[in-house]
Amino acid sequence: MPVISMFYGVIVMMYFFDTERHHLPHIHVKYAELTAVIDLENFQVIEGNLPNNKLRLVLAWMEIHRDELKANWELAKKIFQE
């Protein structure tokens, strides 16, 4: 799964082939032994959990990078569908 960012012990990944499982644009986040999947549209946790302070940090990072995340998802989807 490609890592797109790392900060404060948080690893953010985007796995483009996971559309069958979650059916939405999303990212995967790992912190220590915990993982979460977060929807790119409404920033809701689809699966898993993170400590509240790390989740707030990830959500703030997502807000800052909202346009890039959506563009990356669309680009990857287009490339991998060809």
Classify residue 43 as left (phi > 0), alpha (psi -120 to 50) or beta.
left
| C-alpha to C-alpha distance for 61 and 58, rounded to whole angstroms | 5
| 5 strand-pairing partners | 12
pLDDT given for residue 35 in this prediction: 97
Q: Residue written as tokens 């999947």?
A: 37
pLDDT in tens, 33-78: 999 999 999 999 999 999 999 999 999 999 999 999 999 888 877 7
